[in-house]
Chain A
């Protein structure tokens, strides 16, 4: 086996996350799919760090994790705010700009 196999897994996970963002309606599940895509990108970074023999990729993956944590905090706060005013966590209901 060569380490490129990890890249295939990362690609598959990223694709699955992308489908989830488009297909699912619950805002929280959509958000979880975004987390899945971020994780897939992290796996790619770690794998390339190993292939290239330097730790730069791991440092970048570490930064990605911190940014993802910030994103989760703010995103979930937005979901809670929308839920509080519209009583729904469905992304189809937040369509005020369309009308």
Chain B
């Protein structure tokens, strides 16, 4: 029969509320990057739970595969996609949030009350017997005897997923890439010559050249199109008036 020692009890009661809080925070924070970090925290606490429950191999795999590979992939895609309006927490379907929370309380309450009422007919056995040759050895014995067919199928699945991701992410050009000369001609043939020389770089004529400082036009007004669209979507543009030049000679007229 399994008896749970005091250290594991303490570990559980410290980490379980923290992991549930981190999961709740994942729903409530605005930025997707913060959600990813909180999810990584939840996954690490789960890895500790696995190790505490005599699943040493799974605990290590959880850290290596989930917090190592999967979360890095998430952060990578977040950087690739960038920040846009989908980060906002405003609800688009009216009344969705109360309905979702009510349904979730109902579902969670049902599940927890079911767990509380369920009876297995026996106590917890513990893994001391199954792990007596070591956890990895026990898992390997099962994996390469009873579960060898699922194991091979899973390997086929991994290869298929890798191929599928390559097919999905592959981008076939439908037209030839415009050369520098064609781009230049296109810039001059468009309606206005305002951007013929390219958009202004951030910080030009402003007092310093950080990427979030708009360039100043010759008349001293800031040029909003000098800031990257990602920074604009994130709202990371500094107040421009503090960078404005004090004295601008406004009598100079544009020469035709």
Contact = CB atoms under 8 A, between A and B. Distances in A.
B205 interface: no
B70 interface: yes
A16 B125 contact: no
Contact of A65 (B2, B66, B124): B66
A16 B129 CA distance: 35
B97 interface: yes
Interface string B69-99: 1100110011011001111100110001100
A14 B111 contact: yes
Given A12-B108, A53-B125, A65-B62, A80 B168 contact: yes
Interface in A1-60: 1-9, 11-20, 22-29, 31-33, 35-36, 39, 42-43, 46-47, 49-56, 58-59
Interface residues of B, number: 83
Contacts of B39: 32, 35-36
A53 B39 CA distance: 30
Contact of A62 (B61, B69, B86, B112): B61
B193 interface: no
A67 B160 CA distance: 11
A46 B9 contact: no
5 contacts: A23-B27, A50-B126, A53-B124, A55-B127, A80-B81
* Interchain residue pairs A-B with the least CB separation, the first 4: A53-B125, A90-B86, A15-B108, A70-B161
